[in-house]
Structure 1
Amino acid sequence: MIRRLGRLPIFWATLLLLLASLVASQAMTVAMFVLFDPPRPDFNRLSDIADALAGRDHERGGRERALSVTRQPAAPVPDADMTSDPRFTGMLAARIGVPRDRVLLYFEPDQRADLPQRRRARRLVPMRRGEPLFFDTLVAAMETDGGWRVVRTPPAPLLAAWQRRMILWFALCALMLVPFAWVFARLLTRPISRFAAAADRMGHDPLSPSVPEEGPAELRVTAHALNRMQDRLAAYVAERTAMMGAIAHDLRTPLARIAFRIEAAPEPVRDKVQEDIEQMRAMIAATIGFVRGSTRAGDIRPMSLDTLVRRMADAEQEVGRPVRLDAVRPVTIAGDPVALERLVQNLIDNGVAYGGGVTLSLSAETGEAVLTVADRGPGLAPDRIEHVFQPFVRGDPSRNRDTGGIGLGLTIARSIVQDHGGTLILRNRDGGGLKAVCRLPTTYTDDPHVKKAGDQR
């Protein structure tokens, strides 16, 4: 049932959520009217007023506006909208047991002007078993020795008890609707999140798995169109990559013939041509390696990155290359050992070629392994740092193969890092030199749509 709701169009899913919320809120409202008693008007009996004036205890009876008793030297002045009735004043004096002229009683009459004064008072102050009930604000006073004893109805609270109960009930209704709203929102947003993640992966790797065609109808249509575009893009990239590899491969034969025929040439000419042939062969080998590395998925498994770094540094030192280790922390990641070895080797070769030597360090941050390869060479101009990651772009503008290289080392290194879900940046060091900072994730998602070890498109 929930899966069917998740496949509804966004319009109908949203409308269904609104209708369900409306029905639930109306059901809660009906239940409130059925289960709760109607609010009772707050009132004070004439006997309560008499007890308060006489100093006797009087029952509050669950009423919110209990009478307050004060003393003052002069008789109280009623509000402008208050009135008095001699009959009720006399009844109050009789209950207290004092003369009529020592008692005052004022109350708010009914505001409808089409009724006579006495009838208005009777509507507002109904008789119950011979005792008047006062529902509105009143002021009563009794003259005593040295002043007046005054009884007043305190101001009405901002929210009555029944209003507070209503607010609490509506808050509980809203809390009960939260789980249903969360389920509907989850049904709508989960496919969108997966779609966004898959689209982002496709932007980095055209050979990544297809976008899952799931969720609301509009999203399925969009995912289908994006998958068709990805297929066309992948076919285009594969065609161009295959053509590049075929051209590089086929160039080996004419180069071999040129090398054979140049043997008969004079020695100065032969040496220069042989040097050019070797450079072309190196470029062809690098191109073929780049093409193969961009189209093959490696075997991704848990591996100790610190062991790999130490082993490669030891191997470089054995052959006399200026490579040394700094702090190397134990870090385990999920990766392709062959590809990561090529990554580290390319960074070392780049640093040795341009900086005269490198220092390797490895640390662990939150969810990431940070590999740093630093040198003390001339560095790079800030506007050329990103430029050197492009294929066949070299840090040394000269055409010397020994110092300029082929121009694919950093391109291949960044491609390997991105295939592992990480980042590779270059940064100039304080005091001179360049630093390559490689960040690789130490944890991988369990999303079944993310490419796993050995996945092939």
Structure 2
Amino acid sequence: MIARRLSFNPSILVRIVALVVATLLLALVAMMLVTFRGPPPHARPMFLPEAAQLLRGGTGPSGTAWSITRYRSDRAPVPDAGQEIDPPAAAQIATLLGVPTPNIRLLRERPPPPIRDAPMLRPDWARNALFRAFIIAQRTGDGWTVIQARQGANRRWYAITLSLMAGIFILLLLPAYWVARHIARPIRRLAERAAAERPERAEPMPLTGPPEVRAVGAAYNHMRARIADYLNERTAMLVAIAHDLRTPMTRLSFRLEQLPEGPRAKAQADVEEMRAMVTNLLDFMRGGSDGAQKVRIDLSAIVETLADDLADMGQDVAVKQSARAVVRGDAVGLRRCIANLVENAVRYGGSARVAMIVADGCVTVAVEDDGPGVPPETIERLCEPFYRGDASRNRETGGVGLGLAIARSIAESHDGTIGFANRAEGGLRATLMLPLDR
């Protein structure tokens, strides 16, 4: 029994069709309840004896939805465009009251054209019934007692019907919403996994839900594994190449010692630049500080120590605003991330001013410079590997273009973000946002 129940897993198409069919069946049941269980939608007509009772001072038939208005008039009521005088009915009312026929006047609404042109089509009970609205008057003394009657809607019926429809709508809505959400949940989970920033680092998606979703989940897991294998192979290859380059660069450094002083200094500078490029490439390919152990650290201490060290080296770096912010992460990696932002500001803007702001459970480290800024169309590309805003690649203006890419990789490994924006007064503002550790 349990195995048979677990093996039953209908497709999305079958689930949607079942939901639609169930909803339609419940809607039909609701319509039948409203149609066959409810009272008639309109109040019944008023018959001539009941109209005569109004002239005797009565209130009309009980339990009906008629509006009665009484007043005195010096003249007999005159029919308007939609009314007609009904002498036979007035004569019957006069007989019921025991008064002369000229003392009674009855004005009723004109019947539809087919019935008006063929009076024999009107049934007998309808000739003795008053519908919708009528006016009846009786001459008393030197004036007329006029009664206006108007048939209103059966408000009780409408209240019962609307309440029943609203209740059935809610009863239909709740299970339909639950079933639709249950159907869409695995699809939404798959979309969230696919939209992840680094899907190859995420855990494999559990294969649950309808057969279609299970098939897509299996394909997604296979694709994620292939991407992860490809990235691991690429990383291993580039790391091996960068590592192997260090040996010939070391031999080259020893051989440069035999050159004269002038050429040797320039050659040594080229070798050091190559060694720095290889080091940056290794750091970037290894993913910043992904493998480091994360502990609670005071980010303000890292920022202030870094600014003091760079200032001691003769760089124009200052902390304008500081705040205690405890985060969980790798101290070496975060120092490298902030150092790359500060050194980028000094390199292209001549100076760096650092400010720390704590708000809404996050800490923001803002690094500003007074440089020329960056064209708006290239701001989004600043963190791309090997991209540089400055087209030149000499030692005076920068390296290979991996500093900001490494900074972004470190920030993302700490669940943070890095952003850039041109300042209104000139220069560039780089912001690092990290969540605080509670």
2:147 match? 151
Residue 274 (structure 1) aligned to one of 252, 264, 268? 268
2:64 match? 63
In the TM superposition, residue 80 of structure 1 has moved relative to its aligned partner by 6.3
User: Does 1:196 pair with 2:198?
Assistant: no
Given that 1:81 and 1:108 are in contact with CA atoms closer than 8 Å, whether structure 2 keeps it comes out as yes
User: Does 1:361 pair with 2:355?
Assistant: yes
Per-residue deviation, residues 224-254 of structure 1 (Å, max 9, x unmatched): 2222222222222221111111011001111
Per-residue deviation, residues 144-180 of structure 1 (Å, max 9, x unmatched): 34443222331544x7542443233112211222211
Q: Equivalents in 2 of 1:149, 1:51: separation in Å?
A: 13
In the TM superposition, residue 422 of structure 1 has moved relative to its aligned partner by 3.8
Q: How does 1:236-247 map to 2 (within 5 A)?
A: 236-247=230-241
In the TM superposition, residue 421 of structure 1 has moved relative to its aligned partner by 4.1
Greater mean deviation of Cα atoms: 176-185 or 423-432 = 423-432
Judged with a 3 Å threshold, the aligned counterparts in structure 2 of structure 1 residues 313 and 295 are, in CA distance, closer, same or farther, namely closer
Unpaired stretches in structure 2, ≥5 consecutive residues:
none
**Secondary structure of the corresponding residue to residue 270 of structure 1:** helix
Judged with a 3 Å threshold, the aligned counterparts in structure 2 of structure 1 residues 85 and 379 are, in CA distance, closer, same or farther, namely closer
User: Does 1:165 pair with 2:160?
Assistant: yes
In the TM superposition, residue 344 of structure 1 has moved relative to its aligned partner by 1.0
Q: Equivalents in 1 of 2:372, 2:381: separation in Å?
A: 16
Residue 426 (structure 2) aligned to one of 429, 432, 438? 432
Unpaired stretches in structure 1, ≥5 consecutive residues:
126-131, 445-457
Q: Equivalents in 2 of 1:33, 1:7: separation in Å?
A: 38
Greater mean deviation of Cα atoms: 264-273 or 29-38 = 29-38
Judged with a 3 Å threshold, the aligned counterparts in structure 2 of structure 1 residues 263 and 320 are, in CA distance, closer, same or farther, namely closer
Q: Equivalents in 1 of 2:300, 2:215: separation in Å?
A: 46
**Secondary structure of the corresponding residue to residue 255 of structure 1:** helix
In the TM superposition, residue 372 of structure 1 has moved relative to its aligned partner by 0.7
Given that 2:43 and 2:152 are in contact with CA atoms closer than 8 Å, whether structure 1 keeps it comes out as no
Amino acid in the other structure paired with 1:58: T
User: Does 1:404 pair with 2:390?
Assistant: no
1:229 match? 223
Q: Equivalents in 2 of 1:95, 1:162: separation in Å?
A: 33
Greater mean deviation of Cα atoms: 375-384 or 355-364 = 375-384
Given that 1:369 and 1:439 are in contact with CA atoms closer than 8 Å, whether structure 2 keeps it comes out as yes
Q: Equivalents in 2 of 1:288, 1:75: separation in Å?
A: 109
Residue 136 (structure 2) aligned to one of 128, 140, 158? 140
2:303 match? 309
After TM superposition, the score normalised by the length of structure 2 is 0.83
Given that 1:83 and 1:107 are in contact with CA atoms closer than 8 Å, whether structure 2 keeps it comes out as yes
Judged with a 3 Å threshold, the aligned counterparts in structure 2 of structure 1 residues 417 and 296 are, in CA distance, closer, same or farther, namely closer
1:450 match? none
Given that 2:393 and 2:400 are in contact with CA atoms closer than 8 Å, whether structure 1 keeps it comes out as no
Cα RMSD (Å): 3.7
Given that 2:289 and 2:330 are in contact with CA atoms closer than 8 Å, whether structure 1 keeps it comes out as no
Judged with a 3 Å threshold, the aligned counterparts in structure 2 of structure 1 residues 67 and 384 are, in CA distance, closer, same or farther, namely closer
Q: Equivalents in 1 of 2:6, 2:67: separation in Å?
A: 58
User: Does 1:122 pair with 2:118?
Assistant: no
In the TM superposition, residue 394 of structure 1 has moved relative to its aligned partner by 4.0
Q: Equivalents in 2 of 1:108, 1:270: separation in Å?
A: 117
Greater mean deviation of Cα atoms: 277-286 or 414-423 = 414-423
**Secondary structure of the corresponding residue to residue 281 of structure 1:** helix
Residue 52 (structure 2) aligned to one of 50, 53, 70? 50
Judged with a 3 Å threshold, the aligned counterparts in structure 2 of structure 1 residues 220 and 65 are, in CA distance, closer, same or farther, namely same
Per-residue deviation, residues 67-94 of structure 1 (Å, max 9, x unmatched): 33244443334566757364x5344224
Given that 2:369 and 2:429 are in contact with CA atoms closer than 8 Å, whether structure 1 keeps it comes out as yes
1:84 match? 86
User: Does 1:180 pair with 2:175?
Assistant: yes
After TM superposition, the score normalised by the length of structure 1 is 0.80
Given that 2:352 and 2:368 are in contact with CA atoms closer than 8 Å, whether structure 1 keeps it comes out as yes
Greater mean deviation of Cα atoms: 246-255 or 180-189 = 180-189
Judged with a 3 Å threshold, the aligned counterparts in structure 2 of structure 1 residues 257 and 40 are, in CA distance, closer, same or farther, namely closer
Q: How does 1:2-17 map to 2 (within 5 A)?
A: 8-17=10-19
Judged with a 3 Å threshold, the aligned counterparts in structure 2 of structure 1 residues 434 and 269 are, in CA distance, closer, same or farther, namely same
Amino acid in the other structure paired with 1:65: W
Amino acid in the other structure paired with 2:188: S
**Secondary structure of the corresponding residue to residue 257 of structure 2:** helix
User: Does 1:75 pair with 2:76?
Assistant: yes
Q: How does 1:316-331 map to 2 (within 5 A)?
A: 316-317=310-311, 321-331=315-325
Per-residue deviation, residues 111-162 of structure 1 (Å, max 9, x unmatched): 786999589452215xxxxxx66455433221234443222331544x7542
Q: Equivalents in 1 of 2:8, 2:293: separation in Å?
A: 35
Given that 1:41 and 1:135 are in contact with CA atoms closer than 8 Å, whether structure 2 keeps it comes out as no
